[in-house]
Amino acid sequence: MTDQYSLSVWEPPKQEIVPAKLTDPALIAGYAKQLSKREQSQVAQAFLAGNYEMATNFVWSKSMAALKKELGSLGMQFVGEMLGKPDFDEDDDPISSITEKEAVRLAEELGVVSSTEAMRLRHTQEIVAHFAGLDASEIDSEGIELDQLEAITSLKTCVTNILGKPKIEVATKFAEFRTALESETLDKEDTRVSMLLSSPYFFRKLSVTILLSVIKSEVGAKVENTLANLNTILPLVWHGLRDTEKWQVGHAYAEVFAAGKATATSGIKQALLKVKGFDFVPENLRSDSFVKAAEAMIRAHEGMNNFYNEAAPTRVLLNLGSTIPTPAFAACASATLAIKLGNGYGTSWAAVSIADEIIDKFTDDRWRYYLNQCLAGDVRILNKLAFQKPRDNWYSIVEKHKLNDLEIKDKLVAQLVAAAAAKSDTKLESARIALHKKYYGNE
Amino acid sequence: MAENITFRNHLFGSVHDFADDCGMEPLVQSATLVELIVALSRYTEEGVHLAPEMYLCENLNAMLKFLPGHSSIHLGDATNNADGVMKALKKAAPLAIDDWKIYVEMTDGQFRYGLFHGDLSPLSIEVDQVLLSGDEGATKVVRVHQAGEDCVEIRSFLGKKHNIYLSHKKEDEPPPGQYLEGLVLAICANVAEHIREPVQTFLRRALRQALLRSHGTLIAVTSKAERPKLLNDGIDITPAIDFAKTIEGVMSNDISTSELRSQMALIEGMVNSDGIVVFNPNGKLLSYNCFVVQAGKNASKVVGGARRRAYEALCEKIGHGLSAVYMQSQDGWTNFKKEAL
């Protein structure tokens, strides 16, 4: 199968939205087609007056609103599936339902922005969140302010990636495939199925997520189509799926079984029988409370005032019990590591000590499981390693828990860990980018 | 010298192919099945009638993987022959009540037996639905249980099923329990599609358990919002028990599953009360302890007691206020009639 038949992340036409050398805020604002002339002028005046925080906040808010609105046009249920939030429905407002970090992540996953631009957007988000979270007394006494260069970079990032485009185009090709998954019964010879098999891991994982989401939430013909498609697609992709996704299928079986959904139970059971996958059915749904605790940690971590809000949900996870059920381990490890690694500005002192207690309980087997089955797809953690402070924290984890001594089957993950053990920023970044590319199939 | 006549040889031959197809020797073979069938047809311990479900499986752990929320208790070991299976039945039957079922598994040249149950939520799929659906590659398991008085059902993982009548019933007689599914479908006919399957699963479980302990009952499904006039003597439940609403609440975590358990207990109590239980097709329980006052047109032609006469009278009203009628007699045999679509 050649690449021309594979699904790939949609890539925007490579045209220059804002000239690379442009540094004048007024001129950059002039390229923001999604801002009115009056708004463009207000941004320019704010820069002239040195009101950088106000200008950056305004531009960022407009950018996020435009991006979220466009993402919402794909369908909020689809967005929920991508974010692992199956409770989203079509009536949900994208602007209030999708967090800023999620919007940037989706934009990257759907190819609206390149990996590099996504990193710039994340950086802008962290700048905005950081300054918004400072106390007035802190600003007054220490004279902390956003400098002009940071403000111009943020403006340029927003205009180049969002506000400078008349309309943000997203991965319509995959959105069509998603519709086909629930409205048609696909044959294994179908070109679209063949395309999926040769696509990056992200799309295979997302397809399984979508199939399970529809099976759990819909009724009638949609469920029958998706069950038939699960029985066609799962045997084809199972061998290459990581344990995290295999547990997801087993968990879906346990969920519909407990909810008395006979058709869905029977259909998922047949698919699991085909792949001999019953080892991945959880003995009970105890893992749900661990997953919910992990989700609360991520919400606090990615929300405003995260340094103040992370400790409480992290303690909830710690108090749930010393043994995290295997089906929930990927989510719990990711959330705990996110707290421990922190962001470009540091970590929450109150939460990190609790996160340490959780991490200290990870056995070598659990670490091996995370490194071999989860980290390569844990984009949240991989993205953090692009920043120096989280990277330094990662070095200390690798050193403390001797992760480099563990058997790691994935070559790129092994490189990532070895680079951390050697405290080599360059090698770590190279392994990180390679993992990212392998997962999404793009730069 | 007088020659004894026994149905043993006939029964032995009848279950031979079934046992062969399962490929589970020595656990599942004709001799074992015949012993179990005869024992379970009228099983009592200390004078108490028991109707345990017995699962013969190749590997307990493999079987339990299909049942999230399961639990099991090992009770003992036994010889790998029919005597071993009978010992397991004798020791475990008094404990196989509510959701507990007996298992016997083959392992290392002998049998191990004990008890297990699936998910205890009243909403969860029942064990037999998952294990005995005939899916390719399913784990090897056979269930033997009493389906009614003098009737034992054997069913395998291949989806094959036999009802063995140890009475004068004719071969084409529908087995007890045959119509339960029809009754459940009639009660859920107008339940909103998104919640229909869970309501069906719940009522199937609740009614099966209630009917198992019943000494005979009559259940009617009315197409009206209230108890129909022909049942002018009865107790109306106000407000009517809305199973669909409760289940929606349970699924959205607004209502505890214990509420469903309490509703199951009410169903059992009403089914075991004298008179007729009335549902409507929206999944609501309207009334119980109801009686038909007027005799049916064909009352004089009916052979049977009061329940049978009431059943016939109700059947005459199908399409005129009633959409389905179900009767279970004292011996567990059933009749069912519903409105033609």
What was the ipTM of the complex prediction? Answer: 0.89
Q: pLDDT at position B228, please?
A: 87
B69 and A262: CB-CB below 8 Å? no
HSE-CB for B321 with a 13 A CA cutoff: 12
- What are the sequence ranges of the domains in chain A? 3-163, 172-280, 288-440
The residue ranking higher by pLDDT, B258 or B297, is B258
Q: Who among A258, A269, A270 is closest to B119 (CB)?
A: A258
Sequence-distant (≥ 6) Cβ neighbours of residue A174 within 8 angstroms: A7, A10, A110, A203, A206
CA distances from B63 to A276, B60, B142, B146, B209 (A): 13, 5, 11, 22, 23
Least CA distance to A254: which residue of chain B?
A: B68
Determine what percent of chain A is predicted with pLDDT higher than 90. Answer: 54
Angle between helices A148-158 and A52-72 (to 10 degrees): 20
| Mean pLDDT in residue range B234-242 | 94
Distance CA A401, CA A371 (A): 13
**CA–centroid distance for A304 within its chain:** 17
Tell me which residues of chain A have a C-beta less than 8 Å from any C-beta of chain B.
219-220, 253-254, 257-263, 265-266, 269-270, 273-274, 276, 278-279, 281-285
Distance from CA of B105 to the nearest CA of A (A): 19
Residue in A with minimal Cα distance to B203: A260
- Searching chain A, which residue's CA lies closest to the CA of residue B202? A260
**Is B73 or B296 the better-scoring residue by pLDDT?**
B73
Sign of CA dihedral A191, A194, A195, A196: positive
Mean pLDDT within B271-295 = 90
pLDDT value for A10: 47
Sort out which chain B residues have CB atoms less than 8 A from A276's CB and list them.
Answer: 137
Residue A59 has pLDDT above 50, yes or no: yes
Q: Which of B58, B14, B36 lies closest to B160 in space, CA to CA?
A: B14
Q: How far is B212 from chain A (nearest CA, A)?
A: 21
Residue of A87, A222, A261, A284 to mutate for B, most B C-beta atoms under 10 A: A261
Per DSSP, the three-state class of A73 is coil
DSSP A270-334: HHHHHTT-GGGS-SSSTHHHHHHHHHHHHHHHHSTTHHHHSHHHHHHHHHT-SS--HHHHHHHHH
Greater confidence, A385 or A141? A385
Nearest to B123 among A259, A263, A276 (CB): A259
Confidence of residue A4 (pLDDT cuts 50, 70, 90): very low
From the centroid of its chain, how far is CA A65? 19
Contact (CB<8Å) A254/B68: yes
CB contact under 8 A, A281 and B68: yes
The domains of chain B, with CATH numbers, are: 8-165 (3.40.1700), 180-338 (3.40.1700.10)
A with B: how many residue pairs have Cβ under 8 Å apart?
Answer: 77
Distance of CA A188 to the CA centre of its chain: 29
Least confident range from A82-91, A415-424, B155-164, B326-335: namely A82-91
Residue B148 pLDDT: 82
- Which of A159-173, A340-354, B98-112 is predicted with the least confidence, judged by mean pLDDT? A159-173
Min distance B73 CA to chain A CA atoms (Å): 15
Integer Cα distance of A260 and A216 in angstroms: 11
Q: On the CB side of B101, how many CA atoms lie within 13 Å of its CA?
A: 27
**Chain B environment of A269 (Cβ under 8 Å):** 66, 130, 133, 135
Check if the beta carbon of residue B154 is closer than 8 Å to that of residue B147. no
Can you tell me the mean pLDDT for A230-249? Answer: 94
Nearest-CA distance from B292 to chain A in Å?
35
Which residues in chain A have Cβ-Cβ distances shorter than 8 Å to B133? 266, 269
> Considering only CA atoms, which of B116, B57, B64, B109 is closest in space to residue B92?
B116
Contact A258 B68 (CB under 8 A): yes
Residues of chain B contacting residue A261, judged by C-beta atoms under 8 Å apart: 125, 197-198, 201
CA proximity to B159, closest of B182, B130, B119: B130
Residue of A261, A265, A273 lying closest to B137 (CB–CB): A273
Q: Which residue has the tokens 């590099």?
A: A116
A140: its two tokens: 């007054």
Residue of B nearest to A220 (CA): B193
Average pLDDT over residues B92-103: 94
Is pLDDT of A8 > 60? no
> Nearest CA of chain A to the CA of B131: how many Å?
10
Q: DSSP string spanning A29-58?
A: HHT-TTS-HHHHHHHHHHHHTT-HHHHHHH
What is the nearest CA distance from B313 to chain A, expressed in angstroms?
Answer: 35
Instruction: Please answer yes or no on whether B68 and A266 come within 8 Å at the CB atom.
Output: no
Collect all residues of chain A within an 8 Å Cβ-Cβ radius of residue B196.
219
Q: Which residue of B has its CA nearest to A258?
A: B124
Contacts of A219 in chain B (CB under 8 A): 193-194, 196-197
Is residue A3 scored above 80 in pLDDT?
A: no
* Of A343-347, A405-409, B283-287, the least confident: A343-347
b/e burial code for range A70-93 (CB count within 10 A of at least 16 → b): bbbebbbbbbbbbbebeebeeebe
Least Cα distance to A199 among A86, A119, A111 occurs for A111
Chain A residues close to B119, C-beta within 8 Å = 257-258
Confidence at residue A411, expressed as pLDDT on a 0 to 100 scale: 93
> Per residue in B42-64, pLDDT tens?
899 888 889 999 999 999 999 99
The better pLDDT of the pair A441, B338 is held by: B338
| Cβ atoms of residues A393 and A340 within 8 Å | yes
